Amino acid sequence: MWTYETSVVWTEEKKGETHAGGKPPIEVATPPEFGGPPNIWTPEDLLTSSAASCIMTSTLFFAEKAGIEMRSYMSNASGVMEKTPNGLAITRITVEVAITLVDASQEAAIRKAVDRAERTCPISKSLRCPVEVKLHINGNQETS
Amino acid sequence: MWTYETSVVWTEEKKGETHAGGKPPIEVATPPEFGGPPNIWTPEDLLTSSAASCIMTSTLFFAEKAGIEMRSYMSNASGVMEKTPNGLAITRITVEVAITLVDASQEAAIRKAVDRAERTCPISKSLRCPVEVKLHINGNQETS
């Protein structure tokens, strides 16, 4: 069992700050579409990034286990919030992952690693909605 | 329907950075207990803060609607991750909220507002596990 402790302090209007031990604080706010200010992380953004960063850390875990070397990994995620019979909720998160490999022959192996990440990520397991991963392997013309 | 878009870029080892439009980037990493470095936000921290900050923004919403003025609001949250039959998952989040009111006679009203926040917070509705709020109203000896 592991426990993750964070705090939130209201600062002014629709804004606050969240802390986690010695980690850099993050300013948080109500989303603009619900009366909050622009350009501040919202609870919905944090949830989307939580899922997307868990897909990354899980992929790193399975890639390392399989001896796969990545040149780059990036993802774009979108979390959709909708009215449901149960109230407002995030109903799906899609994570589009783009990976460049050092060795293009490891494509099948990295696909397997990302698939395992998608199936076992603890954040996805904690959500009611599906977290769908779409994987794109970039061609690698570079020689190094 | 609202969409929240973020991205994650792997930087090195077990670390990456998450972005959301023009918002300040957040460094993210695998938790230390799973081989990551210390003092960096993890997916589990972000999930816990997502729930806790949603309780704050929802409370601000219902407090404003009810004409309640708060002097301060802060919360400590803990997210518990455990092995479940379905794999590792967050199994409960507890948010301890401490509020100081400007007008102590609004205690019943703020309790109602926090209760509504607990029941309707969209992040809680998106999670499989319960998000429990424990509310403490601070005494207010100050005169202002």
Q: Where are the beta strands (DSSP E) in B85-127?
A: 87-101
Per CB-CB distance under 8 Å, the chain A contacts of B1 are 80-82
Task: Tell me what pLDDT residue B141 has.
Answer: 53
Task: Tell me what pLDDT residue B79 has.
Answer: 98
Among B9, B42, B54, select the one facing A43 at the smallest CB separation: B54
Task: Tell me what pLDDT residue A140 has.
Answer: 58
> Cα separations (Å) of B34 from B9, B17, B138?
19, 18, 38
Q: What is the mean pLDDT of residues A135-140?
A: 86
Confidence of residue A5 (pLDDT cuts 50, 70, 90): very high
Confidence of residue A141 (pLDDT cuts 50, 70, 90): low
Contact A8 B43 (CB under 8 A): no
Q: Are B46 and B89 in contact (CB under 8 A)?
A: no
Question: In this structure, what token pair is assigned to residue A50?
Answer: 């939580």
Among A57, A84, A126, select the one facing B47 at the smallest CB separation: A126
- Does the pLDDT at position A67 exceed 90? yes
Contact B74 A26 (CB under 8 A): no
Among A4, A61, A86, select the one facing B48 at the smallest CB separation: A4
Which residue type does A58 have? S
Q: What is the mean pLDDT of residues A28-44?
A: 97
Among A26, A77, A120, select the one facing B6 at the smallest CB separation: A77
Which residue type does A45 have? D
- Does the pLDDT at position A142 exceed 70? no
Return the biggest CA–CA distance within chain A: 54
| Distance of alpha carbon A76 from alpha carbon A98, whole angstroms | 9
| Distance of alpha carbon A51 from alpha carbon A49, whole angstroms | 5
Contact B28 A61 (CB under 8 A): no
**Whole-number mean pLDDT of chain B?**
96
| Distance of alpha carbon B71 from alpha carbon B56, whole angstroms | 14
> Cα separations (Å) of B21 from A41, A75, A134, B7?
10, 14, 21, 9
Residue A64 neighbours by CB under 8 Å, 6+ apart: none
Q: How do residues B78-121 score in pLDDT, each as one tens digit? A: 999 999 999 999 999 999 999 999 999 999 999 999 999 999 99
Contact A126 B127 (CB under 8 A): yes
- Does the pLDDT at position B140 exceed 90? no
Proportion of chain A above pLDDT 90, given as a percent? 96
Task: Tell me what pLDDT residue A105 has.
Answer: 95
Task: Tell me what pLDDT residue B139 has.
Answer: 76
Per CB-CB distance under 8 Å, the chain B contacts of A121 are 43
Exposure on the CB side of residue A144, measured as CA atoms within 13 A: 9
Task: Tell me what pLDDT residue A143 has.
Answer: 47
Q: Are B10 and A74 in contact (CB under 8 A)?
A: yes
Contact B50 A47 (CB under 8 A): yes
Q: How do residues A18-35 score in pLDDT, each as one tens digit? A: 999 999 999 999 999 999
| Distance of alpha carbon A68 from alpha carbon B9, whole angstroms | 18
| Distance of alpha carbon A101 from alpha carbon A114, whole angstroms | 13
Per CB-CB distance under 8 Å, the chain A contacts of B126 are 47, 89-90, 127-129
- CA dihedral over B32, B38, B43, B47, signed as positive or negative: positive
Across A125-135, b (16+ Cβ under 10 Å) vs e yields bbbebebebeb
Q: What is the mean pLDDT of residues B41-64?
A: 98
> ipTM score of the complex?
0.96
Q: What is the mean pLDDT of residues A115-129?
A: 98
Task: Tell me what pLDDT residue B144 has.
Answer: 42
**Model pTM?**
0.96
